[in-house]
Amino acid sequence: MDTPRDGHSAGARAARCVLLSTLSVAALGRAVLGSPLAPQAPTVPSTGAPHPSAPAVRVAGMTLEIRAGRVVVTDVTRGSPAGRAGVLPFDVLLVVNDRNLVDLDPITPQEVLGLLPREPTLRTRLVLGRGAGTLSVDLPQDLDGTWALPAPSAEPRTGTQAPPFTGRDLKGRDFELKSLIGKPVLLDFWASTCPPCERAVIPLRRIAERHEGRLAIVGISLDVDRKAYEAFAYNQHLPGIQLLDGGGWRGPIVRLYGVPENGIPYYVLVDAAGRIAATGDLDVIERALESIAAKPTR
């Protein structure tokens, strides 16, 4: 019978057509690309040394370098915005403003800086790797989109008159700093996205209780989201009067007191006569409170 042979021949012819078509596609690919596709080169292990074309970058009081294909914090200046935010040497940058750096290998510190958007919030949000855990921090950002301190402002010095300001509290009532002259005032600069600010709430409440009736506390939030500001103030039971500056790192009160140069949390103690008595962290403020407690107002 001829039928089986014809069927076998038809199947063979179909198989040959498929093979020829495949070879034709491959040949067309070589013609378009100019050369056959080469296998990917094996990954070269990192030596752990800084990238030769990527010198260390100094930003917000910390130094960034390449180590083992990752951007690593190698130095943090004490009292700098990075230092006050809790950044430590050997922290590894994992995320910058919602951009995952783990998927960008290799990457230089300059390329990391290039990831920063020019946002009106003037805020850089970082997620850092530390051992098996992570840390989320916020840092001030300048108008050029790099981690740097904004242009210096006229930060008030100890012994000078505290710059006056006005605001509106959580209940919508108008507030003026001069209305509190006659007793010491503690200014607390914070943000809901600042983990050190949250950790400082308990000692701040302790100070408020210890000096109840003898100390006024005024909190100034750097939040850009009013709901976040209100939720943090209520949920954390922040003591005293709470104000929303409204401009983030470039808010009018924030700039008036030089907060961008110092980071948050940041505290300013104003004595009963309206002069700057101390600035810095809560330990400094508590010592200053003890020293001015018995002093008469001039």
Give the C-alpha separation, 296 to 298, whole Å: 6
* 145: in domain: no
pLDDT of residue 250: 76
| pLDDT tens, residue by residue, 1-39 | 433 444 445 555 544 544 444 434 344 334 333 444 444
Give the C-alpha separation, 133 to 137, whole Å: 14
pLDDT of residue 296: 52
* 149: in domain: no
pLDDT at 50 over 70: no
How far are the Cα atoms of 20, 28, 203 from residue 246, in angstroms, in the given order?
Answer: 70, 61, 26
Single-letter amino acid, residue 184: P
* 33: in domain: no
**Residue range(s) defining the domain that contains residue 132:** 57-140
Give the C-alpha separation, 91 to 30, whole Å: 47
* 264: in domain: yes
The CATH number linked to 183 is 3.40.30.10
Instruction: Report how far Cα 254 is from the mean position of its chain's Cα atoms.
Output: 17
Half-sphere exposure of 151 (CA within 13 A, CB side): 2
pLDDT of residue 258: 87
pTM recorded for the entire structure: 0.54
* 37: in domain: no
| pLDDT tens, residue by residue, 98-143 | 777 776 555 555 566 555 444 444 467 788 888 888 888 877 654 3
Domain boundary among 93, 122, 140: 140
| pLDDT tens, residue by residue, 186-210 | 999 999 988 899 999 999 999 999 9
| pLDDT tens, residue by residue, 212-265 | 999 999 999 998 888 999 999 999 999 999 999 887 877 889 888 988 878 889
Domain boundary among 100, 123, 140: 140
Q: In terms of domains, do 130 and 173 share one?
A: no
Q: In terms of domains, do 281 and 177 share one?
A: yes
* 94: in domain: yes
The domain tally of the chain equals 2
Q: In terms of domains, do 90 and 188 share one?
A: no
Q: In terms of domains, do 172 and 286 share one?
A: yes
Q: In terms of domains, do 170 and 285 share one?
A: yes
Give the C-alpha separation, 127 to 96, whole Å: 7
Q: In terms of domains, do 228 and 278 share one?
A: yes
The CATH number linked to 129 is 2.30.42.10
Q: In what order do the strands lie in the sheet with 276-280?
A: 241-244, 216-221, 185-190, 266-270, 276-280
DSSP secondary structure string for all residues of 99-140: EESTTS-S--HHHHHHT----TT-EEEEEEEETTEEEEEEEE
| pLDDT tens, residue by residue, 149-168 | 344 445 678 889 999 998 88
CB-CB contact of 236 with 197 (8 Å): no
CB-CB contact of 143 with 122 (8 Å): yes
